[in-house]
């Protein structure tokens, strides 16, 4: 296969994976990955964050990072590619087009009618533009699992199950006389 054809197939894989996935994982400066809700539009990934939206700390204008998408059928890592972060200025033509796409795909927004004004006031809209071919794809996957331990939180507890729990869940078996 020619290099141009491989590059075209690689670009198509990145685009399809990003279009079909509502979440992508972004590599943050401290080498951890964070899931981000996103929309693919006009050759790039769009994300909105800060304020009442998802956190974007660790992503700055002009920075380069890596995005990872999973397979919709197998749920495993499908493709990872490098991107350049572009922060869009509120009110600009690019920002307006990006916000229109993001607003259309935003689920469960508490203020759907005024979300655009809220995003202009308190959030950042980023455009993550691919800068090259994939660094991981079905033909070139790393041997390591990349699994990470969950972040510590007070919301999870680990206690023994109460002794009565099986009886409550499954009921008592009645004996036939």
Reduced 3-state DSSP string for the chain: CCHHHHHHHHHHHHHHHHHHCCEEEEECCCCCEEEEECEEECCEEEEEECCCCECCCCCCCCCEEEEEEECCCCCCEEEEEEEEEEEECCCCHHHHHHHHHHHHHCCCCCCCCCHHHHHHHHCEEEEEEECCCCCEECCECCCCCCCCCCCCCCCCCCCCCCCCHHHHHHCCCCCCC
Q: What is the CATH number of the domain that holds 83?
A: 2.30.110.10
Whether residue 146 is contained in a domain is answered as no
- Indicate whether 121 belongs to any domain: yes
Q: How many domains does the chain have?
A: 1
pLDDT for res 4: 77
pTM here is 0.76
Q: What per-residue confidence (pLDDT) applies to 6?
A: 74
The stretches in the chain having pLDDT less than 50 are: none
The phi and psi torsions of 65 (rounded to 5 degrees) equal: -155, -175
- What is the pLDDT, as a whole number, of residue 73? 76
Does residue 44 lie in a domain region? Answer: yes
Q: What is the pLDDT of residue 1?
A: 63
Q: Which residue range is the domain that position 27 belongs to?
A: 3-141
Task: Specify the pLDDT at position 174.
Answer: 58
């Amino acid at each position: 296969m020619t290099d141009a054809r491989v590059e075209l197939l690689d670009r198509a894989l990145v685009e399809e994976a990003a279009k079909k996935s509502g979440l992508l994982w972004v590599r943050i400066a401290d080498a951890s990955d964070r899931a981000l809700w996103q929309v693919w539009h006009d050759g790039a990934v769009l994300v909105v964050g800060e304020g009442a939206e998802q956190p974007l700390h660790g992503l700055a204008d002009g920075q380069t990072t890596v995005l990872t998408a999973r397979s919709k059928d197998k749920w495993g890592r499908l493709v990872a590619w490098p991107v350049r972060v572009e922060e869009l200025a509120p009110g600009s033509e690019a920002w307006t087009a990006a916000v229109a796409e993001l607003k259309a795909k935003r689920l469960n927004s508490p203020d759907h009618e005024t979300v655009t004004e809220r995003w202009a006031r308190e959030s950042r809209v980023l455009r993550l533009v691919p800068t090259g071919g994939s660094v991981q794809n079905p033909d070139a996957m790393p041997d390591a699992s990349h699994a990470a331990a969950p972040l510590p939180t007070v919301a999870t507890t680990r206690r023994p199950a109460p002794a009565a729990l099986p009886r409550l869940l499954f009921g008592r078996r009645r004996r036939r006389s």
